[in-house]
Structure 1
Amino acid sequence: MNQKLKKQDWTVRVLQELERQYSPSRWSHRMSADDVIKAHVKALKEGTEQARDLAQTLLNVPYGEGDGEKLDVYIPKTNSLDVHLVVYLHGGYWQFLSKEESGFMAVPLIDKGVVVVAVGYDIAPKGNMDLMVSQVRRSVVSVVQQYSHISGLYLCGHSAGAHLAAMVLSTDWSQYSITPQIKGAFLVSGIYDLLPILSTYVMEPLKMTEEVAVRNSPSKLVPQLKLSSSSCQIVVAVAENDSPEFRKQSEEYYKALEESGLSVTMEDVANTDHFNIIEQLVDGEYHLTKVHR
């Protein structure tokens, strides 16, 4: 009986630690967990408002039939037909945030003549993991069809968005009408193996089974990524103050890509946490903005 209690106690402790590891807001050195999330939303909203003032915008452009299947396009004032285009996939643990706060990274890119597309997708509980992955894949196909004069297509995703961007890179495009040629991908503080989060609070709205988690884990799809995106330059970025588990996810995914012979670099960004690592893309002088360029 005593052994059984000890085992239960150990299991509870392991689960509590897993919850802590996958709660990014608890690892910021700048402010409390609640405050860092509030500050994050505020920073993204303000950056997006700034981008909407600077750029010509096409808002709520449909890429599918669903209510949530919409894009916001930030267009620089340029006459060039030879444009670079960045597709941004927002974070929020697949259950929070939207495209409405996702235009901020256009601020330094507008002057460089870069088009930025912020993708909306159906977050949980309305959307499940299979649907979200399908949506972001279709959004990229739609962008390529609408902008036939793209000279370079790039992906950027943060947190859950980095997971979705990695899933886009791992698409079997033979099931789609076109094969997007993605030149570069910027994966920031992502989750690439969904199995560890199955027993955490993240699962409550997602209702994800183990089978769904395996099917949608980029770490299990590296051979497909190599087939689909072999010429893509991939940057895996992680914050110095991300949790050890988040850092491990990035390091292991980076190593798996590198061992497959893919063109991948790792950026360990000093003095950042899970939130300001992406917020600072609003600044043209920020290290990651320069890497991204």
Structure 2
Amino acid sequence: MTHPAYRWPDPDRDYLNGAFIPGAADYPPRWSAAAAGFRQAMGRRADLDLVYGPLPRQRLDLFLPEGTPRGVVMFVHGGYWHLFSKAHWSHLAAGPLARGYAVAMPGYTLAPVARLAEMTAEIARAAWFIGTRVAGPMVVTGHSAGGHLAARMGCADIPVPVARVVPISPLTELGPLIATGMNDTLKIDAEEAARESPARLALRDGVSAHVWVGAEERPAFLWQARVLAEEWGCGWTVEPGRHHFDVIDGLADPDSPLCAALLRGL
């Protein structure tokens, strides 16, 4: 594995995950295959492509546990707001399902078609829709860019029926991303960074939060996680031995520390 040559400051290198993960290119097809197999195995307990809005990607998959759900977990996928879809992650529903919770996985409109504020509004709309389908407390989690959107659901300016948010490796302070090459696609400006950075916004009263990140992640992601935990005054966990691509694996295991943190206090 060859790392890019270091120069400082280098915002692109700060947020370049794949170059520092052995076999990084193998992860997306592995995720996709595991997710497809999981959906097939779920049979009638998988309610796929439910429409929560008028736009093409405003669809969500809802996975139901055996018996009456104790509540619902919404997982928001990552991909720097311009990659992947809900279809890559279905298998991560296994942990909460085994604990008796339904799991919803929404799609949302990606950049450059949508700006971050529009994505935030779409996930909020999905949360309201999910609340009409499943009774009980709602937990919102998400990974990377999805961690950003999950954190936004806990912010004081977003009135959604959410009891807890657990952002995983989230992007919480958007200012540094303005200097990256991917901002040619995202179009984040100073005003949007101020409005859409969870670390600059208050946690909504009545919502609990916990931030999760892998110990082997890029330093920028460790910083992003810590900043949110400090600003919100909530707990955060640095999981040993985990990098940006496998830090989500615990969601598939009902006995994992991540799954326990997800549902703590409910």
Question: Would you say same fold, with TM above 0.5?
Answer: yes
Residue of structure 2 in register with 1:244 after alignment: 219
Tell me by how many angstroms 1:109 deviates.
Answer: 2.5
1:287/1:42 Cα in 2 relative to 1: closer, same or farther (>3 Å)?
Answer: farther
Amino acid in the other structure paired with 1:234: A
Alignment partner of 1:18 is 2:11: yes
Cα distance in 2 for partners of 1:167, 1:43 equals: 29
SS at structure 2 position matched to 1:277: coil
- 1:170 aligns with 155
Gaps of 5+ in 2: 1-5
Structure 1 counterpart of 2:42: 54
Q: Which has the larger radius of gyration?
A: 1
Mapping of residues 78-157 of structure 1, within 5 Å: 78=67, 80=68, 83-147=70-134, 150-157=135-142
Deviation, structure 1 residue 13 = 4.0
Answer yes or no: is the 8 Å Cα contact 1:48–1:100 preserved in 2. yes
State TM-score, norm by structure 1.
0.81
What is the CA deviation profile of residues 154-198 of structure 1, one whole-angstrom value per residue up to 9, with x for unaligned ones? 11110000101111111535xxxxx54322211110111111010
Equivalent residue for 2:53? 64
Structure 1: any 5+ residue segments left out of the alignment? 1-11, 174-178, 259-263
Distance 1:25 1:213 in 2: 25
SS at 1:51 equivalent: helix
Cα separation, 2, equivalents of 1:249 and 1:162: 11
Q: Is the 8 A contact 1:77 1:113 kept in 2?
A: yes
Question: What are the residue-to-residue correspondences of 1:261-276 with 2, within 5 Å?
Answer: 264-276=234-246
Structure number with the higher helix fraction is 1
Paired-residue identity, %:
24
CA deviation profile, 1:81-126 (whole Å, cap 9, x unmatched): x531001100100011111112222123323221100010011122
Residue type of the partner of 2:175? L
Q: CA deviation at 1:43?
A: 3.5
Q: Work out the CA distance in 2 between the residues paired with 1:215 and 1:198.
A: 14
Partner Cα separation in structure 2 for residue 140 and residue 169 of structure 1: 12
Q: Is the 8 A contact 1:43 1:279 kept in 2?
A: no
